[in-house]
Structure 1
Amino acid sequence: MEEYERKLLLERIDREGATVGASIPDRIEVQGTAVDLREFVFEIKRRDTVPPGEREKVDQAKKNLRREKLQRRQLIENDEVTFEEGEELVESIVGIDRALEALQSLGPANIEGEMKAKEAADQKRWMGFLKKVLGKDGGPRLGGR
């Protein structure tokens, strides 16, 4: 493959909006295992949130997809494929990116738990502020005389 061809392929991967209009591959080999990627993504996306038991499976799938994407990109970068093979790899990488975007956009698994954590963090900040204002943190009072 010529250098300009390799740069062209890598530019297609890195292009802003490369996944717009791209489809998620039906089936793909990820880390040596065949995965029905489109079916997996659509099954997960059908739910409003990922149940706690499924969260680990989704996180592992995202990790494996990122790893696979990197390995495919490196084949192009290291000139280990022909231009035609590189074009196929680009299509699969863009499809993997599309799947990752879909999985990243999933809502939190535990909305109630996240709300409680945010409220606790807000309360902690408020108490820290009050202690500082009232001079109970060992520092000077704000606005004191």
Structure 2
Amino acid sequence: MVRFQTAEAMAMLGDERIYPKLWTMLISAYADDRVMGIKAMGALGTLKAGDALITMLDDDIVEVRLAAAEQLGILKDNRGVPIVLDVFTRNLAAGLDKEALERLNVRTVLAIGRIGTPSLTGFLPRFLTDESKFVRIAAAMAVFQCTMKK
């Protein structure tokens, strides 16, 4: 964990020498490692990091795709919009247990908050009344982020 935090801190400082290490996180067999690498790539914020994030929109795991969409939204790149819309149009929440559904919903609203397009923000109200307090908090944060963009 410390290794990941160090890599993210270097990315936040804009140290481009960390890029190869972040790339190895993106190609990890573990989805959690990929999500941490995505977050760090977003913090690095270079053109090369943005390109790496775009490749993660094709990941097999929906939470990884949503994390990439969120980070691209922070970089003012809306290419993640279709990924978020897929959650609703392809009913990706169907059949998930309570814990998995909560994770998916939190990731979804975090991405909506960072992207903030009208095509996505209309989905936020339903999450403000979700039974999970984590989803409600993430949704409230997303509403705030969308409001601040105006």
TM-score (norm 1): 0.30
Between structure 1 and structure 2, the one with the greater Rg is 1
Greater relative contact order, per chain length (Cα 8 Å cut-off, separation 6+): 1
Name the structure with the higher strand share.
1
